[in-house]
Chains A and B, each alone.
Chain A
Amino acid sequence: MAQNFVLGHTFSHGVHPPEHKKGTRTEPIERLGFAPTLVVPLAQHIGAPAKAVVAKKQEVARGELIAEAGGFVSVPMHAPAAGTVTKIDLALIASGSMAPAVYIKVDPEASQEALEGEPFDIEAAAPGDLVGAVQQAGLVGLGGAAFPTHVKMTVPEGKTIDTVLANGCECEPYLTCDHRLMLEQKDELFAGLAIALKATGADRAIIGIEDNKQDALALLRDSVPHGLPIFVAPVKTKYPQGAEKMLIKALLNREVPSGGLPMDVNVACFNVSTLAQMAALLPKRQGLIERVVTVTGPGVRKPGNYLIPLGTPLQFILDHVGLTDDARQVILGGPMMGPSVSSLDVPTTKGVSGILALTQKELDDRPKQVYPCIKCGSCVEACPLYLNPSLLGALARKEEYEAMEQGYHLNDCFECASCTYVCPSNIPLVQYFRIAKSMNRERKAAKRK
């Protein structure tokens, strides 16, 4: 056991925000009931939106296919509950825009047994079949990015994968869903890793876990199945350790090149929840219909880790856990990167790992006045990608957005917000970078016209 407590591997730079995980880390995963109506947006993942294959008034079983993948970088959707499709219409999604969604009125009488397909023999399947089955299951990165998993598992010609990483860092404050999952579903996690190893042809798998989760580290280390090249490695508790590029740097000391993918350094990286779901869904060819979400924050009366059907409106979840009277802001995901929502009608989607409610107190504690940059260099020391946020911020204020992209690697920034977190002048650096990226996208689109 002693080796668990040595200082873990890590990357340089990064920040140490307060963890706030005590409230939910010991709460077992609890199943949440069905909301009266579920709203399943067709674009819950990065890539092309899914195409609906159900019609209005059609009855669907739980787990039935309701939308098929709209391309290679796309995944299908499955009905999160048995009921009737009431309409296929626009719905407000977390980004604040309206997007097509399938509305399902849950039938309280119907059997909510998840539909099972033909058995799928994982042992006998070829790697290509495994990748296809992963797409059919509608799996995306459940850590938050919602990138279609099968795309990461597809190894293009000329590339090889030697290591599969399971990401169990969960470096965002407040979130504990991956922690609970590692404690409660270790067998699925290992089985998922076995599938990923087979599909990618990698020689070994490493589960990276931040050293603030010693119980999960010890449990997984003691129960690695015999004959599988799976290693469990502690990494230092530091934000953003859970970012793909940072985890690869910490465990393998490899750097993903600018604009590149983990595949370029022979690595495939999956979130532990994604792997566990993979193992649970594939043997019976089922689809992803629910996920574990940490519902927490000072504004929540009954914080915990809940197994929530996809498409459940936030209002239903927050009614269940109870909001305090002074709850003011709801964030999807963790407080560092998670976006705020502007309405509680927004449904839970595949990429939602947490629902965080903050109160008036946190809003009041937030610095309001923005001061000029004093060139202290804190942000430069915090940036895990060795960018210069201070300089980028100065360029953003002058609206030199193209220079930011061409000369200063703006597009390598994955918006971890470490720079904004440490800035003593309260400069909203990440906000500037997001504006810059958005403007560059629009300029390029305008030029193409």
Chain B
Amino acid sequence: MAVLGIGLSSILALANKKLHIFEDPRIEQVDDLLPHANCGACGFPGCRAFAEELVAGDVTPGACPVSSSECVATIAGLLGIEAGAREKRVARLACAGGKNVTRMRANYAGLSTCRGASLVAGGGKGCPWGCLGLDDCMAACPFDAITMDENELPVVDEDKCTACGACVLACPKHLFSLHDVNHRLWVACMNNERGAAAKKQCEAACIGCGLCAKDAAEGLIEITGNLAQIDFGRIEAANMDAIQRCPTGAIVWLDKEQGPIIGAKAVEARQKAAAKAAEEAAAAAAAKQETA
């Protein structure tokens, strides 16, 4: 027994020497410093793979959007490389159709996920492009950066968002995309319908009227497929003038503190619509009372 033990252990010892693979010890050190969110935002499959690329010198630590600046500086110091440029990017939702403004065309009663709903006749939302509001993005976000507001529309916390892209993949309507955090002018709509038809589906739909394009710097906004589209190459020229005359509030200014700001015209239109709805509700209630 003892001989067998010594024999086998010497084989193991030999194998350990013979089959040893050298690994740069810095990979382990760098990996320890990374956040271990394994979110994939850097473009590599997990933190370990990113650490290997860092040590190989193919990327700079700044490419990790989750690590703090101190952490990035530490890694850069350890490896003796530059920290690299850090562009803060965030996920942006191209829909403003909360349940306060969008009509419903059917009542969906199945599995309560957006993807499930979208596979059953596109869900119940009146706008075929719009957000279904069943929280798939919130569930997919590994950083708790997405919350649902009172109108069942997701809100992205710019500080927490690392642009990992989990929500981009999760949304069955493809409403999320990753953008530079400084892109403040934003079209919160994907509806390709013509004006009247789009308005029928959602009060906050882009009707393709082109007022924003006229008020903005030349070439910044273009109308294609009945929808305003921003040329992000010219985003430097953007200012709040573009949103002021939008009749529906589809084009917004994403303020860091206040959230999406809609133009004066849209505010007016929303107030009118709310007043009308209240009036109709009151009339309906009165009629009901009369019949009773």
Chain A positions within 8 Å of B, measured between CB atoms, are 89-90, 92, 94-98, 339-343, 363, 428, 431-432, 434-435, 438-439, 442-443, 446
Contacts and interface: CB of A to CB of B under 8 A. Distances in A.
7 contacts: A90-B192, A94-B121, A339-B120, A343-B105, A428-B111, A431-B119, A435-B115
B110 A95 contact: no
Q: What 7 A-B pairs come out closest when comparing CB atoms? A: A96-B122, A342-B106, A342-B121, A96-B121, A435-B115, A431-B111, A343-B105
A340 B124 CA distance: 11
B133 to A, nearest CB: 15
Nearest to A368: B109
Given A95-B121, A96-B128, A438 B115 contact: yes
Contacts of A97: 122, 128
B229 interface: no
Interface string B3-34: 00000000000000000000000000000000
Given A90-B193, A96-B123, A97-B128, 20 more contacts: A89-B194, A90-B192, A92-B128, A339-B121, A340-B106, A341-B106, A342-B105, A342-B106, A342-B108, A342-B121, A343-B105, A434-B116, A435-B113, A435-B115, A435-B116, A435-B119, A438-B115, A438-B172, A443-B169, A446-B169
Given A98-B192, A446-B169, A341 B121 contact: yes
Q: Which of B106, B113, B123, B169 has the most CB of A within 10 A?
A: B106
The A interface is mostly helix, strand or loop, or mixed, namely mixed
Contact of B169 (A94, A98, A428, A442): A442
Contacts of A343: 105-106, 121
Given A96-B128, A97-B128, A98-B192, A438 B111 contact: no
B177 to A, nearest CB: 13
Nearest to B129: A98
B119 A434 contact: yes
B147 interface: no
A428 B128 contact: no
Contact of A98 (B106, B113, B119, B128): B128
Interface of B: 105-106, 108-111, 113, 115-116, 118-124, 128-129, 169, 172, 192-194
Nearest to A92: B128
A389 B141 CA distance: 28
B271 to A, nearest CB: 30
Contacts of A428: 110-111, 116
B193 A98 contact: yes
A95 B115 contact: no
A215 to B, nearest CB: 35
A180 to B, nearest CB: 27
A110 to B, nearest CB: 28
A363 B110 CA distance: 11
Nearest to A437: B119
B193 A340 contact: no
Contacts of A98: 128-129, 192-193
A98 B169 CA distance: 21
B111 A95 contact: no
B99 to A, nearest CB: 16
Given A90-B192, A431-B110, A340 B116 contact: no
A341 B115 CA distance: 16
B169 A342 contact: no
A422 B106 CA distance: 27
A340 B109 CA distance: 11
A92 B200 CA distance: 14
Nearest to B225: A90
Contacts of B105: 342-343
A96 B121 CA distance: 4
Contacts of B121: 94-96, 339-343
Q: Which of B108, B115, B124, B172 has the most CB of A within 10 A?
A: B115
Given A97-B128, A98-B192, A438-B172, A340 B120 contact: yes
A363 B109 CA distance: 10
Contact of B116 (A96, A341, A431): A431
A341 B118 CA distance: 11
A342 B122 contact: yes
A363 B107 CA distance: 12
Nearest to B104: A342
Q: Which of A89, A96, A97, A341 has the most CB of B within 10 A?
A: A96
Contact of B122 (A95, A434, A435, A443): A95
A446 B115 CA distance: 16
Contacts of A342: 105-106, 108, 120-124
A97 B173 CA distance: 10
Contacts of B108: 342
A437 to B, nearest CB: 9
A340 B121 CA distance: 6
Nearest to A443: B169
Contacts of B192: 90, 98
Contacts of B115: 435, 438-439
A90 B194 CA distance: 9
A96 B104 CA distance: 13
A92 B172 CA distance: 17
Nearest to A446: B169
A51 B193 CA distance: 20
Q: Which of A95, A342, A343, A434 has the most CB of B within 10 A?
A: A342
A247 B110 CA distance: 31
A342 B120 CA distance: 8
A330 to B, nearest CB: 9
A334 to B, nearest CB: 16
A96 B169 contact: no
B128 A438 contact: no
A435 B123 CA distance: 13
Nearest to A332: B121
Contacts of B116: 428, 431, 434-435
Nearest to B171: A442
